[in-house]
Structure formats: structure tokens, C-alpha cells
Amino acid sequence: MDYDVDYQIKGECSMAAGNRILQFFPQRLRGDWERCGLEFEQIQEIRLRVNQPVKVFCGRERTLPFRYGEREMEELFRYLCHDSVYAYEEERKQGYMMVEGGHRIGITGELTTAENGRFIAKYIRYMNIRLAHEQKEIAGKIIKYLYRSRERTPLNTLIISPPGVGKTTLLRDTIRLLSNGTSGYQGCNVGVIDERGEIAGAYRGSAMLDCGERTDVITGGDKQQGISILVRTFAPRVIAMDEIGRSADAEAILHAGVSGCSILATVHGTSIKDIRNKTEMEKLLHLGLIERFIVLSMNEQMDRYFEIYDREGNRLCGRSLLRAPA
């Protein structure tokens, strides 16, 4: 690629990413972000804590030279709610809100009791803006390992990764490729249970991020409810979900497996050995339900890598760079 063209494309990408960051903030608060000299396309999280320096995470933590007081936090929250705070009461109870583009904003502060004994954030003093990054084709090198060789049907697959390495990004692209199909592999119906809205980035029920043309998305329900709905009415070949974190999640996956659906899921961890020590994973691994393990890691230079193992722990693909083709 011509260097001038390459530079222009990178500049345009950075500008688009910068505009995506600025959309979260009222006009009065945008100047600090425009002056801070960040590579916006690298930002994964923005942490806002009242009267404390703003921090961003882009593979490593960076402290910015400005902070927001109570007035700015209230102004920011009202802006995100389009000046209709009461319309977002359910989000305040849940502790997070989704915004257009598939981004998720955690909100908390002083809690008070609402109806039905649930707590609701009364004064918003802390926010965590998690930016949705869509990277297509990063699963391109991986997808061929996730099918049975003869039947060419998807295998039960678990993505293992520490936080912030990109498991949800990889999950989303794997869903897209399973749904659309690739060379030699026919596309299939995929059902996605997106509890926190981070996979499809659903906004008012519509997916903002590309999960494929044969994909149905349930947002907001838990895994047990979602699997029940999908199995009864949508006939998915694959059921995908993020972050197995409870024993109930594992039980839901067992139910899906019994129903004849293949499973694609993620879990926090650093290795297969690491997740074997997790109570919620014990039964799944003991029964041998998981047929493929994808283990993600990242070095100090923020390069991400993957390894692939079979059910018995045999390595099928050695440590390889996780990135889309140039």
C-alpha cells in the first residue's frame, strides 16, 4: 500500500474513532478530549470517578490531565439519557446502559431502594464506558478448527481469556462466520444470548454490530431463559453466549447440549488448567462437553495471540497472532 494512502486511511480511522468517543460527552466537555492527544481507536475503556483524574485503558492504563466533579457527572448522565432521566430508570436499576453503537456504560454511586426492593442509582458518581470494537475476519484463521471434519458441523467451543484481551470481539466474529458461512462451510442458524448487550451491541432491541445474516439475538434475559426461547422457537444450530460465571450458566449450557445445539461461549481464565479450578466449569469439563478450547493471551506490546486445543488438551494450533488479514 502506498504510504501516503496508508497514512490517510489511518488518519480517517483515528478521526472516526475520535468522533465515536466525543459522542458520549456534551459539547462543553469535549475540549479536554480533543486536546489530550489520544489514539482513540485503541481505547477500550474510559473510567470516570467523581473528583478523580479520568483514566483510559488501551492495553495499559493512562491517566488524563483532567477530572469531573459532581456537576459534570450529573450533566454527562443527563446528556446520555437525552435529558430524560426517568425514561432510563430500568437502566439505573441494572447498573448499566447501552448507547447507540453497541457501547456499554456502567453507572453507580449512591443507591436507594426502588420498587420491589431493588436498588437504583440515585446520584451517579462513577461511570465505566466500555467501547465496542468490531473487528471482522479476526476469526478467519480459527474457524476451520471449529467444525467436525466429516459432517462439517460446528463443535462445542469455549474461548478462554483474561479480561481486556478481546474474547467478546473474537466471539462476535466467530458468530458472524458461522452464521454467514465460509469457503467450504455452509452458514447456519445461530442464536445469541446477549445478557449485557456486549456481543451484538443491541440498542432498543436492534443489533448495532454485525453478527451475521442467520443470527437471532436475545438481549437482557439470562442464559436459562434465552436457551429455552431459542430451542423452542428458533431452531438454532449454534447457541452463543458470553462469560460463563455461575453454576446456573453451566447448567443452561448442559441443557442446550442435550437439545442438540452446539455451544459457543467464553470464560475468564488464562489456560485450560486455570478454568478446571472453577466450580462452575467442573461439570462441563468432567462430562467432556467442550470439544475445542481457544486460549487468548496478550503481551506487553498489546499483541494478542491464540492457541487451540481439543477436548483432551492436545494442541491443534500453536501460539499465533490474532488479527485480521492485512
Exposed/middle/buried for residue 134 (C-beta within 10 Å: 0-12, 13-18, 19+): middle
Nearest-angstrom CA–CA distance, 75 and 251 = 43
Over residues 47-55, the mean pLDDT reads 97
The full set of domains in the chain, from first to last, is 3-130 (3.30.450), 143-321 (3.40.50.300)
If one compares 9 and 4, the residue with the highest pLDDT of the two is: 4
Nearest-angstrom CA–CA distance, 129 and 102 = 11
Q: Are 310 and 326 in contact (CB under 8 A)?
A: no
Residue 3 has what pLDDT? 35
Q: Are 138 and 169 in contact (CB under 8 A)?
A: yes
Q: Are 237 and 146 in contact (CB under 8 A)?
A: no
Q: Is the pLDDT of residue 267 over 50?
A: yes
Nearest-angstrom CA–CA distance, 82 and 183 = 45
Q: Is the pLDDT of residue 50 over 70?
A: yes
Between 3-12, 90-99, 148-157, 281-290, the lowest mean confidence (pLDDT) is in 3-12
Q: Is the pLDDT of residue 63 over 90?
A: yes
Dump pLDDT digits (tens) for 103-137. Answer: 889 999 998 877 666 777 788 999 999 888 788 99
The SS3 assignment for 97 reads strand
Over residues 285-294, the mean pLDDT reads 92
Q: How many other C-beta atoms can be found within 10 angstroms of the C-beta atom of residue 142?
A: 21
- Whole-model pTM? 0.81
Residue 17 has what pLDDT? 52
Over residues 269-273, the mean pLDDT reads 94
Q: Which residue has the cell 500453536?
A: 318
Dump pLDDT digits (tens) for 201-251. Answer: 887 788 889 999 999 999 877 898 999 999 999 999 999 999 888 888 888
Evaluated on CA atoms 158, 159, 161, 163, the torsion sign reads negative
